Amino acid sequence: MAQLIDITKVAVAPQHFTARVTIANGGPLTTDQDLVGTTHVYNLLPDIIDHACLGDKGATFKDVMGATEVAHLLEHVAIELMARTGIAGDISCGRTWEVTGEPRTYDVQLACPDDVLVASALSSAAWILQWAYSGARDPKPDVDAIVAGIRSLVADADALAAKREAEKAEQEGAGADGGAAGGGAAGGADVVAGSAATPDAGEAAPLEAPAAAGTPNADATPASADASARAHN
């Protein structure tokens, strides 16, 4: 099996990130088709059995992990990675369903606090499943390193988004937008944000800034497209 899980397309909405995934021919469609591989995933990330899992029978993922879609396992591995970054906020929900008329294909939908975060967690999760279902050979995935990598991808993308915001605000030359430009991006954006905030903040800026800062997602999209392309290799 060359590549177990192919992420063929993604759709980003303000609240949700939906990835269409296809399981390769020869790969397991359900976790009970390769319990040894499923056990490798469990041993690597034992916390996933405590995830809330509404949907099928039962209340936690433990009740279904032994016999569910591999795409559903992918969802929970991605959620676990996101949770471990500590920057995902309260992500409890995800959903996975079969795509009608397309064999071996599923849509995996996750709540989306940050699209770069979700995209990189999903592609890392796909890689972990690839490892688990193809013999779990060395090197074993280093979960801490993966989580650190995701965190720094998000920080890079935030900084890039803030920089683009700042450039846009400069081009528009309007003081009104300038004040808010840097505010939306958390963490690593601070350095760049300073330059955006200073130039002649116009009359309207101070009052509008908090509202504008709450909607960073729209402008984060171009950066995330880069990031997910990178993550796919």
Task: Name the token pair of 58.
Answer: 């039962």
Place of tokens 């130039």: 199
Closest-CA residue to 78 (of 127, 36, 149, 30): 127
Say how many residues touch Zn ion, by CB under 5 A: 1
Q: Which of 5, 21, 53, 70 binds Zn ion (CB under 5 A)?
A: 53
In angstroms, give the least distance from the CB of 136 to Zn ion.
Answer: 23
For residue 206, whether the previous peptide bond is cis, meaning omega lies within 30 degrees of 0, is: no
Contact 52, 46 (CB under 8 A): no
| Among 25-33, 48-56, 154-162, 224-232, the segment contacting Zn ion (CB under 5 A) | 48-56
8 HSE (CA, 13 A, CB side): 12
When asked if residue 128 is in the footprint of Zn ion (CB under 5 A), the reply is no
Distance in angstroms (rounded) separating the CA atoms of residues 99 and 32: 20
Q: Residue 53 or residue 129: which is nearer to Zn ion going by CB?
A: 53
Output 94 or 179, the one with its CB closest to Zn ion.
Answer: 94
CB of 107 to Zn ion, least distance (A): 14
| Min dist. Cβ of residue 110 to Zn ion (A) | 11
Binding interface with Zn ion (CB under 5 A): 53
